Amino acid sequence: MWREFRDFAIRGNVVDLAVGLIIGAAFTTIVNSLVNDILMPPIGLVLGGIDFSNFFVTLKGSGAYPTVEAAKAAGAVTLNYGLFINALIKFVIVAFAVFILVKQINRLKLDLGPTPAGPTKTEQLLTEIRDLLKGQPATPPAAA
């Protein structure tokens, strides 16, 4: 059982998956910073200084709260649609980045080498002869 587990754990696909997860986690922090620090401030400025992360509706609780954190601290139940908008923007950015990455990898795979040549004329003729011989009925051996 241990040998099977070791073989599974060191198989190429599992190692590739682990590397992908580690890079994905690091990529997430970059995307979070890109969205929160680079993209959302100008979008908020265009919309009149609005911060999407503080768009919420209080479902249960008394009073008006200036931020989601203040509402949570007061024990209010909130519907945080602004945080959902931020998450949606992050998803679109990640999906686009992965699309570009896969597209570039596929382009590189196509440029790795020439395509193998087809069969030669002799190989084609031999294949045709073989196929013709397969189509003929078998003849019994002649008696001597």
> Could you give the C-alpha distances from 52 to 71, 81, 95, in angstroms and in order?
16, 8, 21
8 A C-beta contact, residue 78 and residue 56: yes
For residue range 98-107, list pLDDT tens digits in order.
788 788 877 8
Q: Is pLDDT of 57 > 80?
A: yes
Q: Evaluate whether residue 108 is within a structural domain.
A: no
Per-residue confidence at 48, pLDDT binned at 50, 70, 90? Answer: confident
Q: Give the span between the Cα atoms of 85 and 95, in whole angstroms.
A: 15
Q: What's the pTM value of the predicted model, to 2 decimals?
A: 0.52
Name, in order, each residue with C-beta under 8 angstroms of 40's C-beta and a sequence gap of 6 or more. 51, 52, 53, 86, 89
137 falls within a domain = no
Q: Assess if residue 131 is contained within a domain.
A: no
Q: What is the residue whose two structure tokens read 């690091």?
A: 26
> What whole-number distance in Å separates Cα of residue 46 and Cα of residue 7?
55
CATH number at residue 81: 1.10.1200
Domain count, the chain: 1
What average pLDDT does the segment 123-129 reach? 91
pLDDT tier, 110 (very low <50, low <70, confident <90, very high otherwise):
low
> In which band, very low, low, confident or very high, does the pLDDT at 2 lie, cut at 50, 70 and 90?
confident
Six token digits for residue 123: 């190989």
Q: Are 80 and 58 in contact (CB under 8 A)?
A: no
Confirm whether 71 is domain-assigned: yes
Domain of 37, in residue numbers: 2-99
Would you say residue 29 lies in a domain?
Answer: yes
What pLDDT score does 122 carry? 92
Q: How far apart are CA 51 and CA 86, in angstroms?
A: 10
